Amino acid sequence: MNAPIITPSHTVESMFPTADQIPEAFRIKTPINQREYLINGELRHWDGEVEEVISPIHIQTDQGLVATKIGHFPLLSEQESLAALNAAVTAYNRGRGVWPTLSVAQRIEHLQDFTYRMQEQRDEVVNILMWEIGKSYADSQKEFERTLDYIRDTIDALKNLDRVSSRFEIVEGVIGQIRRAPLGVVLCMGPSNYPLNETFTLLIPALIMGNTVVVKTPRPGTLPLYPLQSAFQKAFPPGVVNIIYGSGRTVTPPLMASGLVDVLAFIGSSRAANSLEKQHPKLNRLRTIYGLEAKNPAIILPDADLNLTVKECILGTLSYNGQRCTALKILFVHRQIAEAFIEQFRLAVNNLKFGMPWDEGVTLTPLAEPGKPQYLTELLEDAKKFGAEVVNAGGGTIRETFFYPAVVYPVTDQMRLYHEEQFGPVIPVMPYDDLETPINYIVNSNYGQQVSIFGQDTEAIAALIDPLVNQVCRVNINSQCQRGPDTFPFTGRKDSAEGTLSVSDALRSFSIRTLVAAKETDLNKSLITQILKERQSNFLSTDFIL
């Protein structure tokens, strides 16, 4: 298969702007001089070493392309890390602290206060997302708004959960009220691709259930939390939210080794998660909530609607440059339609707009992860060595931090692209003759998050659904893999996840069922009635939250 002669490489060469071509509204006028970090309700000043934040967006100058420094953040030491942990431990106070003993309604009030304060920082956070991780303006806005929606949905879900829990049960002569209680101190570590939204999908349910939290910011993706530190400080009691910055190898091992972390909430690689978990001296006391790798496949049946399939596969493989755990990372196409699919798909790829995050309608932007273009090139070279080709015009063209998407065909199991999660704009396409090929791939994979099936034959689709729901946690029909809606379960099998992070499920993940029980005697009924009437307990209560 021959790619078209016309390539986009000449425009890739000139894609980065000069300083005066950057729209005024999106300029970083002053680099972010972050030297504050939040511990125990205090914004403490750091005079030590800092790390520069270099944007993936380069600027054209007379001397050539120049990387853009957009700020720096503190490289805290073990001492500050442990101070943050001690603040969280003190605030929790073995379950006797102010935060874990507040009523559900009171914790909701604090979270609503934070939400109002967060909204005021919208424009600054969105701009930082664009500059630090290269996310488009539209997607950066979406990440911010989706995070606000997630907070509101979490509040509504907890209200519903608490309403159900507000009643008493009497069984076999025992009176009981069952509610959910916090777990303790949570170490929260979000990912660099969604440093705001996915960090908050861990942080918000942990907080609202009464836990205290230490947040370790991701790299890249550190600066978006900076404008929100004051909101956390003002909205929550001291020690409830603590934010640390720096090298993960420096600041996180002491936290885990202390044995004082009750929950490790982490989104990232399984290698990093396993390393952190093993450092905890009391594994039976540690709860883990993980979102890890995925290699989500698409299975394209011979009767698939090609227009629909190509549209969804473009979204699935290249939204935010394919840097999503839910991205489609390998496409299995029936050999009968492989040529037609490739032809339509590669043309669709080359019609995507690439450029700077603020460009209207842009899809493809520079990559923030250091060394990513070089890694993707290695995958292409390996695939070519075993007989594959880059079949789209200009695929694999590099300009500094930008990597033009490469459609690779035909992929075989000899290639690294077949096995490795590329987490970037390289799309492996594998032809198949027998459905056992993609099924065996999923069965033998280390990952089990999602799969997409494209086709129109109900019998064939139904025959795939039944075995695949036992291998992955979401089967998408004629649509890309995705996380949302946030009310749907989001989890994975095998090495892809532990715990479930939908809105309602996350509340359960960060808490435990606890009950107060008493034999149904006159004394106990009188005692419980008086506690309820005088509202002497926040847990033992029949208050109904509207």
Residues paired with residue 58 on neighbouring β-strands, in sequence order: 67
Q: Sign of torsion, CA 536 538 540 546?
A: positive
pLDDT digits (tens, 9 = 90+) for 156-171: 999 999 888 888 999 9
Residue 8 confidence (pLDDT) above 70: no
pLDDT band at residue 5 using 50, 70 and 90 as cut-offs: very low
More confident residue, 101 or 8: 101
Q: Which of 58, 159, 43 is nearest to 365 (CA)?
A: 58
Specify whether 357 is located in the same domain as 244: no
Specify whether 273 is located in the same domain as 161: yes
Total-model pTM: 0.94
Specify whether 223 is located in the same domain as 119: yes
The maximal CA–CA distance of the chain, rounded, in angstroms, is 89
DSSP class of residue 499? S
Q: Please give the pLDDT value at position 10.
A: 56
Residue 418: give the domain boundaries.
297-489
Phi-psi region of 129 (alpha: psi -120 to 50; beta: other; left: phi over 0): alpha
Last residue of a domain, one of 221, 256, 291: 291
Q: Sign of torsion, CA 482 486 489 494?
A: positive
Tokens at 115, concatenated: 């939400």
Tokens at 517, concatenated: 């029980």
More confident residue, 546 or 155: 155
pLDDT digits (tens, 9 = 90+) for 329-374: 999 999 999 999 999 999 999 999 999 999 999 999 999 999 999 9
430/441 Cα distance (integer angstroms): 11
CATH number at residue 411: 3.40.309.10
425/120 Cα distance (integer angstroms): 34
Q: Is residue 499 part of a domain?
A: no
Number of domains in the chain: 2
pLDDT digits (tens, 9 = 90+) for 195-242: 999 999 999 999 999 999 999 999 999 999 999 999 999 999 999 999
The DSSP bridge pattern shows strands 426-432 and 398-399 to be unpaired
Task: Of 181-185, 412-416, 534-538, give the lowest mean pLDDT range.
Answer: 534-538
Mean pLDDT (the chain, rounded): 95
- Report the run of H or E that residue 278 belongs to, with start and end: helix 270-278
Q: Which of 224, 73, 69 is nearest to 135 (CA)?
A: 224
Q: Sign of torsion, CA 220 202 282 491?
A: negative
Phi-psi region of 172 (alpha: psi -120 to 50; beta: other; left: phi over 0): left
Q: Please give the pLDDT value at position 3.
A: 43
514/179 Cα distance (integer angstroms): 6
Specify whether 279 is located in the same domain as 398: no
pLDDT digits (tens, 9 = 90+) for 21-75: 999 999 998 999 999 999 999 999 999 999 999 999 999 999 999 999 999 999 9
